[in-house]
Amino acid sequence: GAGVSQSPSNKVTEKGKDVELRCDPISGHTALYWYRQSLGQGLEFLIYFQGNSAPDKSGLPSDRFSAERTGGSVSTLTIQRTQQEDSAVYLCASSTRGENTEAFFGQGTRLTVV
């Protein structure tokens, strides 16, 4: 596709349930990022994938959060046993390899835990 695609755009879940958020990056982009944006806050880095290298998981806030990237393309962010504080917009971005390259963002998934 022309841009980064995220699904679903909105997700309402009950506290304690597991959720999966999907990101389809721009074709050919080897780098993929997940960020979290809470109301009134900036972007919080969660995880980074680059090609076949081991992902940088240093931003994941707890072991309830995990992410994988299959075949170097689509990525899934999984949140287990969701809590109300997980409510936020989850943004995915992709870029070509290189330090000076900009990242292109998807529209985000708005997660609401009730």
Partner 1 sequence: AQSVAQPEDQVNVAEGNPLTVKCTYSVSGNPYLFWYVQYPNRGLQFLLKYITGDNLVKGSYGFEAEFNKSQTSFHLKKPSALVSDSALYFCAVRGRGAGSYQLTFGKGTKLSVIP
β pairing state of 104-105 and 43-50: unpaired
Residue 77 touching partner 1 (CB under 8 A):
no
Which residues, 6 or more positions from 68, have their beta carbon under 8 angstroms from its beta carbon? 75, 76, 78
Residue 11 touching partner 1 (CB under 8 A):
no
Long-range contacts formed by 43-46: CB under 8 A, 24+ apart: 43/91, 46/77, 46/90
Instruction: Name which of 57 and 81 has its Cβ closer to partner 1.
Output: 57
| Least gap, CB of 9 to partner 1 (angstroms) | 9
Considering only the stretches 14-22, 40-48, 66-74, 78-86, report the one whose residues sit in contact with partner 1 under the rule CB under 8 A.
Answer: 40-48
Site string for partner 1, 47-76 (x = CB under 8 A): -x-x-----x--------------------
Exposed, middle or buried, 63 (CB in 10 Å: 0-12/13-18/19+)? Answer: exposed
Which residues make up the interface to partner 1 (CB under 8 A)? 4, 31, 33, 35, 41-43, 45, 48, 50, 56, 91, 93, 99-100, 102-108
